């Protein structure tokens, strides 16, 4: 690790100001992703701006039609939240499948979404539910937020403050864990709304994506059998030492079926 | 006064008091006054010419004390890292043994090869300076696989090692095997890969070195399984430090599994550097650094053929293996895929003719050496797999074909056609016990239950034997060992009767402090708590070859037993004098020396007291004091073995293999502490399951990059991968070790990979699957199922 300055602001505007005024400075939330990159000397920020002392970034609220989760809410809190379990059980289940207990206690939804790891779980939930990413400057629809490998629509200096999820009729998540890392080799989130079904896939490619063919089929018949025969194109899917592209494509169908199953049960 | 806790009891482990309360003393816990920090700069390329190194920017960096490179090593005339075994080919031509410089000279041969050592005030400063070294590499193509390495036109690692072949080794009667094959009713064939593994001990390697100008002495603290051997190899062969001027300490070590039983270049560099910079220097490897520098294990490509008669009797076995050595020869490297592999190809069977050819091959990968089991898991895997292949091809039940070929209990001692002679064993007894324990009779019901959930269930057997207790020195010497393989122990009885044992083996998790104390407690009748075991320090322990090859109890325990016998013998002489009786009439039992047939007796403490306060003492015939030492050189290997039965469930939708049941019935000879034996078996089995289902070190051909270079990409077995295991012993006593012990450190790792893979193949056999390479990952299984469900083409 190289030396860096450490700031712990108490007000969101102060945090935003630090971030824009110190070139290459970085926000730190749970640190579960950032700290390892510092230790391996892969990142070299001159300053860290810690989000943990900012008010209002933690907690879960519900207004009947949406559930809003503060950016600094740890995965373990989402997993254990009675509110989330009741309104969007698939999302609580997703949070419970992230990493291990230590990671779930420190890692945050804001950090995970901002990081947009191609194998992270939350992006599938956020895109699958068509959530809104609330930042210090604007609101961004999930469909416009995830841009590719570790890339998002966030501008420099922009801080995620919360994620707002519409409450679905039904939703489910199925994850096939990568053997070593236990990130998603393939994870599929399905959500059924009055106006249709959304299907989002993580792990299979360079970023989270939707599967319109499955969405159409499930909108007609929300049952695993409706998508059993749908095969995903292997083009653009990831091939690595853990899984080849065609296997990942196959798993998308299997996990999508299991996600629908989970949503129905 | 505590209790005697003897052989066969299961006290809690003595050492766990400090381990579980965070009071262990590991190398990285040690701080020396004025200590500086060192980091190694390692090659990022698999294969490259080293054109030059510009140190200037690094030297100018803040806090930097020294930057050392291969040129400095050369200028100081230091030796190459030695290989402890020299094997030869069939014509007696010695293996090619290119130098292994402790810092690369002219060329780097694997990602992780050491290029420079940077010493600075702090690790951060050393790391920062390391990044400023300007190293001019001319990158060459790498070759990482053995098949590729021996092909014409392959990149050549050394100018004088044609086709990268270090040695073309063979064992057995080739002609007899050929004759048998011509008569065979059936020949089973199998091609397989034994996957490359990375040991991953919990504690990364680390070292501290210090030089005292006042006494001209060096001290090296290192994470080693064999400090005396490091002292010899490094002092005598690399750095030219006289043995009496070099102290090597291996304090608490957090797991080894073989990874820490080699003399590493880091140890030599840091010891040399400490004198040059006149400061103690410390280096602690990161986990990532361990992946590219800890010696790897396994990595074979094998073609095997088994000849059988019409009844399924094995007539002959022929094995051709290419074994990966990596970029250089490590301490035991060439011994592992040859001497510890070929002689085990007889297994528990009466196969009369065996021939084995092993081409030992250099590649642009981390040097390969011993890893728990070392050669014997590879041999067991080949043999136990091909037995299943033969059974299925000939339509003979897998258990039945094993029975037809097993060495019967009465046939021991049994001379195999591949050097080794098994002293004792009862493979059939282990098999019978395991069949019952695994409830094999009801397997059909469990298989049907799995099928009703859409899962395939399979059962796999491995009836195996291994050779451990390394090793009879004379025998090892004939096979190419350049050292002895005995062990030593000193039993120091204090004036008050407590005992300190100095032993040459090294405890790094196995529970020796408990097991050895039980032996002493049992034999001398002293309380278990009154026995301490000292190891791991060349200044405190007389000598020793260390811990590997399941040798600590078998060889070290034997030395301890002998030394204890000498204490008793001397005690009898003292007692005879004190009790005014003839020495032959003195009996020693339960901590008391008594005159046979009388109630006249002296306690062990009284005798110890008399030995140190010799007012009334046979000074004319005996020296005062009560301390004895013994060296023990085994007369044969020991041959633990047994039967492992794995049961798996395969999810055909995802290809996931789940180990649902595991049963092991092993013959480990006398059991000193059943709890510790069970723990060793559990751990060993888990490592074998890891090889079978999860672990694989993968290199990129061409660039030589390690693609599985972290825990994110190298899958270690975890608690939730495993069922509760059923582990039992069915022991016959070793006929040549003093206590009848055979060793249990590696059996789990040796027996289990074949059992698991045989179970996976069984689960998929209805689809025509005949072999699955390790690790049986979901992707690999899914691919097999895809191919299996394709319409079968001709051939
Ligand atoms: C062992 C291990 C296993 C894991 N397994 C999984 C898994 O199975 N599935 C999974 O999805 N993840 C997994 N993770 C990742 C984990 O979920 C992390 O918590 C998450 O990726 C990052 O969250 P964090 O709060 O730790 O963010 P940090 O590491 O603090 O930050 C990550 C990045 O996001 C930025 N950032 C943080 N907060 C904000 C914000 N509010 N606004 C804008 N930018 C912000 C930071 O600047 C940084 O660039 C694992 C991590 C570890 C260490």
**ipTM for the complex?**
0.96
Domain assignment present for residue B172? The answer is no
3-state secondary structure of B320: strand
Q: What is the pLDDT of residues B490-515, one digit of tens each?
A: 999 999 999 999 999 999 999 999 99
Given the DSSP bridges, would you call strands B36-42 and B281-284 parallel, antiparallel or unpaired? parallel
Can you list the residues of chain B whose pLDDT is less than 50? Answer: 791-795
Report the atom number in ligand 1 closest to the C-alpha of A175: 8
B518: CATH: 3.30.365.10
Shared-domain flag, residues B218 and B284? yes
The reply to whether ligand 1 has any atom less than 6 angstroms from the CB of A34 is yes
Shared-domain flag, residues A153 and A244? yes
Shared-domain flag, residues B608 and B641? no
Tokens of B388: 């299943």
Shared-domain flag, residues B454 and B392? yes
Domain assignment present for residue A65? The answer is yes
- Cα–Cα distance measured from residue B216 to residue B606, given in angstroms and rounded to the nearest whole number: 43
- Cα–Cα distance measured from residue B684 to residue B686, given in angstroms and rounded to the nearest whole number: 5
Tokens of B26: 């590991």
Shared-domain flag, residues A81 and A43? no
Shared-domain flag, residues A186 and A132? yes
Shared-domain flag, residues A23 and A44? yes
Tokens of B200: 């991953």
Tokens of B365: 């990968």
- Cα–Cα distance measured from residue B262 to residue B249, given in angstroms and rounded to the nearest whole number: 15
Where do the H-state alpha helices sit in A67-187? 75-80, 82-87, 89-96, 101-106, 109-115, 122-128, 142-145
Shared-domain flag, residues A191 and A117? yes
Number of helices (H) and strands (E), helices first, in chain A? Answer: 11, 14
pTM: 0.97
- Nearest residue of B to residue A184 by CA position? B712
Number of domains in chain B: 3
Shared-domain flag, residues A196 and A220? yes
* Cross-chain CB nearest to A180 (options B128, B131, B712): B712
- The strand ranges marked E within B535-687 are 586-589, 592-595, 601-603, 627-632, 641-651, 656-667
A40 contacts in B (CB within 8 Å)?
Answer: 288
A245: CATH: 3.30.465.10
The reply to whether ligand 1 has any atom less than 6 angstroms from the CB of A242 is no
Of A9, A39, A56, A111, the one to substitute when testing ligand 1's pocket (max ligand atoms within 8 A of C-beta) is A111
The reply to whether ligand 1 has any atom less than 6 angstroms from the CB of A30 is yes
Domain assignment present for residue A55? The answer is no
Domain containing residue A222: 60-264
- Cα–Cα distance measured from residue B68 to residue B129, given in angstroms and rounded to the nearest whole number: 12
**B93 DSSP assignment:** P
Shared-domain flag, residues A150 and A200? yes
A38: CATH: 3.30.43.10
B71: CATH: 3.90.1170.50
* Residue A204 · residue A254 · CB < 8 Å: no
Domain assignment present for residue B475? The answer is no
Q: Does B779 touch chain A (CB under 8 A)?
A: yes
- Nearest residue of A to residue B707 by CA position? A241
Residue that is last in its domain, among B599, B632, B665? B632
Given the DSSP bridges, would you call strands A47-50 and A151-152 parallel, antiparallel or unpaired? unpaired
Indicate which of A97, A175, A247 best probes the interface with B, i.e. most B CBs within 10 Å of its own CB: A247
- Cα–Cα distance measured from residue A82 to residue A86, given in angstroms and rounded to the nearest whole number: 6
Shared-domain flag, residues B463 and B503? no
Number of domains in chain A: 2
Shared-domain flag, residues A21 and A65? no
A242 contacts in B (CB within 8 Å)?
Answer: 713, 777, 779
Q: What is the pLDDT of residue B790?
A: 53
Given the DSSP bridges, would you call strands A47-50 and A5-7 parallel, antiparallel or unpaired? parallel
B197 contacts in A (CB within 8 Å)?
Answer: none
- Cα–Cα distance measured from residue B227 to residue B234, given in angstroms and rounded to the nearest whole number: 10
The reply to whether ligand 1 has any atom less than 6 angstroms from the CB of A157 is no
The reply to whether ligand 1 has any atom less than 6 angstroms from the CB of A17 is no
Domain assignment present for residue A229? The answer is yes
Q: What is the pLDDT of residue B793?
A: 40
DSSP string, B646-676: EEEEEETTTTEEEEEEEEEEEE-BS-S-HHH
Tokens of B285: 């490897």
| Contact across the interface for A180 and B711, Cβ inside 8 Å | yes
Shared-domain flag, residues B428 and B374? yes
* Residue B763 · residue B690 · CB < 8 Å: no
| B387 CB-near residues (< 8 Å, 6+ apart) | B306, B349, B398, B401, B402, B405
User: For tokens 């110890």, what's the residue?
Assistant: B608
DSSP string, B165-223: EEEEEEEE-HHHHHHHHHH-SEEEEEEEEE--EE---SSPPEEEEEEETTTTEEEEEE-
Domain assignment present for residue B300? The answer is yes
Domain assignment present for residue B150? The answer is no
Distance from CA of B682 to the nearest CA of A (A): 21
Residue that is last in its domain, among B632, B656, B677? B632
User: For tokens 């016990």, what's the residue?
Assistant: B433
- Cα–Cα distance measured from residue B556 to residue B546, given in angstroms and rounded to the nearest whole number: 9
| Contact across the interface for B715 and A40, Cβ inside 8 Å | no
Q: What is the pLDDT of residue A170?
A: 98
CA distance from start to end of chain B:
76
Domain assignment present for residue B695? The answer is yes
Shared-domain flag, residues B89 and B230? yes
Domain assignment present for residue A11? The answer is yes
Protein residue whose Cα sits closest to atom 53 of ligand 1: A32
Domain assignment present for residue B21? The answer is no
Domain assignment present for residue B593? The answer is yes
- Cα–Cα distance measured from residue B624 to residue B574, given in angstroms and rounded to the nearest whole number: 10
Shared-domain flag, residues A103 and A213? yes
Residue that is last in its domain, among B613, B632, B651? B632
Q: What is the pLDDT of residue B1?
A: 55
The reply to whether ligand 1 has any atom less than 6 angstroms from the CB of A79 is no
* Residue B93 · residue B171 · CB < 8 Å: no
3-state secondary structure of B785: helix
Distances (CA, A) of B404 to A238, B396, B398, B400: 49, 10, 10, 6
Residue A60's region, left for phi above 0, alpha for psi from -120 to 50, else beta, is beta
* Residue B750 · residue B466 · CB < 8 Å: yes
A180 contacts in B (CB within 8 Å)?
Answer: 694, 708, 711-716
Shared-domain flag, residues B123 and B265? yes
Shared-domain flag, residues B401 and B338? yes
Shared-domain flag, residues A37 and A164? no
| B167 CB-near residues (< 8 Å, 6+ apart) | B87, B88, B89, B94, B95, B96, B334, B338, B359, B360
Shared-domain flag, residues B265 and B318? no
Protein residue whose Cα sits closest to atom 39 of ligand 1: A111
Nearest to B730 by CA among B515, B431, B469, B435: B431
Shared-domain flag, residues B103 and B57? yes
Shared-domain flag, residues B584 and B539? yes
B789 contacts in A (CB within 8 Å)?
Answer: none
Q: What is the pLDDT of residue B61?
A: 98
Q: What is the pLDDT of residue B794?
A: 36
3-state secondary structure of B567: helix
Domain assignment present for residue B350? The answer is yes
Tokens of B589: 């039992």
Where do the H-state alpha helices sit in A10-162? 12-21, 34-39, 75-80, 82-87, 89-96, 101-106, 109-115, 122-128, 142-145
Indicate which of A1, A3, A242, A257 best probes the interface with B, i.e. most B CBs within 10 Å of its own CB: A242
- Cα–Cα distance measured from residue B25 to residue B206, given in angstroms and rounded to the nearest whole number: 13
User: For tokens 């672990």, what's the residue?
Assistant: B695
Domain containing residue B648: 296-470+636-787
Shared-domain flag, residues B681 and B763? yes
User: CB burial class (10 A; 0-12, 13-18, 19+) of residue B734?
Assistant: buried
- Nearest residue of A to residue B289 by CA position? A40
A41: confidence class by pLDDT, cuts 50, 70, 90:
confident
Shared-domain flag, residues A23 and A125? no
Shared-domain flag, residues A41 and A64? no
* Residue A174 · residue A188 · CB < 8 Å: yes
């Amino acid at each position: 690790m190289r030396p860096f300055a450490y700031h712990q602001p108490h007000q969101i505007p102060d945090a935003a100001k630090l971030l824009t005024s110190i070139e290459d400075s970085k926000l730190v939330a749970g640190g579960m992703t950032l700290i390892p990159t510092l230790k391996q000397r892969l990142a070299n920020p001159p300053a860290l701006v810690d989000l943990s002392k900012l008010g209002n970034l933690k907690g879960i609220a519900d207004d009947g039609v949406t559930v809003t989760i503060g950016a600094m809410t740890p995965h373990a809190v989402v997993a254990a939240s009675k509110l989330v379990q009741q309104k969007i059980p698939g999302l609580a289940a997703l949070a419970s499948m992230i990493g291990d207990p230590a990671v779930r206690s420190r890692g945050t939804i804001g950090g995970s979404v901002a990081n947009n790891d191609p194998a992270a779980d939350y992006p599938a939930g956020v895109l699958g539910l068509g959530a809104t990413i609330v930042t210090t400057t604007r609101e961004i629809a999930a469909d416009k937020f995830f841009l590719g490998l570790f890339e998002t629509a966030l501008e420099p200096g922009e801080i995620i403050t919360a994620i707002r999820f519409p409450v679905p009729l039904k939703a489910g998540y199925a994850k096939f864990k990568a053997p070593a890392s236990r990130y998603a080799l393939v994870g599929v989130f399905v959500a059924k709304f009055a106006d249709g079904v959304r299907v989002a896939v993580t792990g299979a490619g360079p970023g989270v994506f939707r599967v319109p063919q499955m969405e159409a089929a499930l909108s007609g018949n929300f049952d695993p059998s409706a998508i059993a025969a749908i095969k995903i194109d292997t083009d653009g899917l990831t091939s690595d030492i853990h899984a080849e592209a065609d296997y990942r494509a196959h798993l998308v169908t299997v996990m999508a079926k299991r996600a629908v199953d989970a949503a129905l049960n | 006064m505590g209790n005697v806790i003897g052989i066969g009891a299961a006290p809690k482990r003595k050492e766990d008091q400090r381990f579980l309360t965070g009071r262990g003393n590991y190398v990285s816990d040690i701080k020396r006054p004025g200590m500086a920090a060192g980091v190694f700069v390692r090659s990022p390329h698999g294969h490259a010419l080293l054109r030059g190194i510009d140190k200037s920017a690094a030297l100018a960096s803040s806090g930097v004390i020294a930057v050392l490179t291969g040129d400095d090593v050369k200028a100081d005339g230091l030796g190459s890292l030695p290989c402890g075994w020299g094997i030869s080919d069939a014509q007696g031509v010695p293996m090619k043994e290119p130098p292994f410089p402790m810092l690369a000279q002219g060329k780097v041969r694997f990602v992780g090869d050491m290029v420079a050592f940077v010493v600075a005030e702090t690790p951060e400063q050393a790391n920062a300076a390391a990044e400023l070294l300007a190293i001019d590499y001319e990158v060459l193509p790498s070759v990482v696989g053995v098949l590729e390495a021996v092909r014409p036109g392959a990149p050549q690692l050394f100018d004088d090692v044609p086709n990268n072949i270090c040695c073309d080794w063979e064992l057995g009667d080739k002609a007899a095997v050929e004759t048998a094959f011509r008569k065979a009713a059936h020949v089973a064939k199998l091609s397989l890969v034994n996957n490359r593994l990375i040991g991953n001990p919990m504690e990364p390697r680390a070292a501290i070195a210090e030089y005292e100008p006042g006494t001209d002495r060096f001290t090296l603290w290192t994470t080693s399984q064999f400090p005396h051997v490091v002292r010899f190899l490094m002092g005598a062969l690399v750095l030219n430090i006289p043995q009496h001027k070099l102290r090597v300490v291996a304090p608490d070590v957090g797991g080894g599994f073989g990874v820490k039983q080699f003399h590493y270049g880091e140890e030599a560099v840091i010891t040399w550097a400490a004198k040059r910079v006149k400061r103690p220097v410390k280096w602690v490897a990161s986990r990532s650094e361990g992946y590219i520098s800890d010696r790897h294990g396994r990595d074979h490509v094998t073609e095997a053929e088994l000849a059988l008669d019409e009844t399924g009797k094995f007539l002959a076995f022929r094995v051709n293996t290419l074994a990966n050595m990596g970029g250089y020869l490590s301490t035991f490297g060439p011994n592992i895929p040859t001497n510890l592999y070929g002689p085990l190809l007889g297994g528990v069977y009466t196969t009369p003719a065996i021939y084995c050819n092993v081409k030992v091959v250099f590649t642009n990968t981390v040097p390969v050496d011993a890893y728990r089991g070392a050669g014997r898991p590879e041999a067991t895997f080949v043999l136990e797999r091909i037995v299943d292949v033969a059974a299925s091809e000939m339509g003979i039940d897998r258990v039945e074909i094993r029975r037809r070929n097993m060495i019967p209990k009465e046939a021991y001692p049994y001379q195999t056609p591949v050097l080794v002679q098994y002293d004792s064993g009862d493979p059939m007894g282990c098999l019978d016990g395991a069949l019952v324990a695994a409830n094999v009779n009801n397997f059909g019901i469990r298989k049907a239950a799995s099928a009703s959930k859409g899962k395939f269930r399979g059962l796999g057997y491995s009836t195996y034997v291994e050779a451990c207790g390394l090793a009879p020195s004379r025998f090892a010497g004939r096979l190419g060992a350049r050292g002895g393989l005995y062990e030593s122990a000193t039993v120091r009885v204090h004036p008050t009767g407590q005992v300190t044992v100095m032993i040459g083996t090294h405890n790094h998790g196995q529970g020796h402090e408990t097991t050895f104390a039980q032996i002493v407690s049992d034999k001398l009748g002293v309380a278990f708590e009154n026995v301490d075991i000292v190891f791991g320090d060349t200044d405190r322990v007389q000598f020793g070859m260390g811990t590997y090859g399941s040798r600590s109890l078998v060889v070290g325990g034997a030395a301890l037993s002998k030394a204890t016998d000498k204490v008793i013998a001397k005690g009898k002489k003292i007692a005879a004098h004190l009790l005014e009786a003839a020495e032959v009439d003195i009996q020693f039992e339960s901590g008391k020396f008594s005159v046979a047939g009388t109630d006249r007796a002296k306690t062990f403490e009284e005798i110890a007291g008399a030995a140190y306060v010799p007012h009334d003492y046979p000074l004319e015939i005996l020296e005062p004091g009560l301390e004895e030492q013994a060296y023990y050189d085994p007369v044969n290997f020991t041959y633990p073995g047994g039967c492992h039965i794995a049961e798996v469930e395969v999810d055909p939708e995802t290809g996931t293999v789940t180990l649902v049941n595991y049963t092991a019935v092993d013959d480990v000879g006398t059991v000193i502490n059943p709890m510790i034996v069970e723990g060793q078996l559990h751990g060993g089995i888990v490592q074998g399951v890891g090889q079978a289902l999860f672990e694989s070190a993968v290199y990129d051909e061409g660039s030589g990059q390690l693609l599985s270079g972290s825990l994110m990409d190298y899958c270690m077995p975890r608690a939730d991968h495993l069922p509760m295991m059923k582990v039992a012993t069915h022991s016959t006593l070793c006929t040549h070790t003093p206590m009848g012990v055979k060793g249990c450190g590696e059996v789990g790792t040796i027996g289990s990979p074949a059992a698991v893979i045989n179970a996976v193949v069984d689960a998929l056999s209805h689809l025509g699957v005949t072999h699955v390479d390790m690790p049986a990952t979901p992707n690999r299984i899914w691919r097999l199922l895809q191919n299996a469900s394709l319409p079968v083409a001709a051939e």
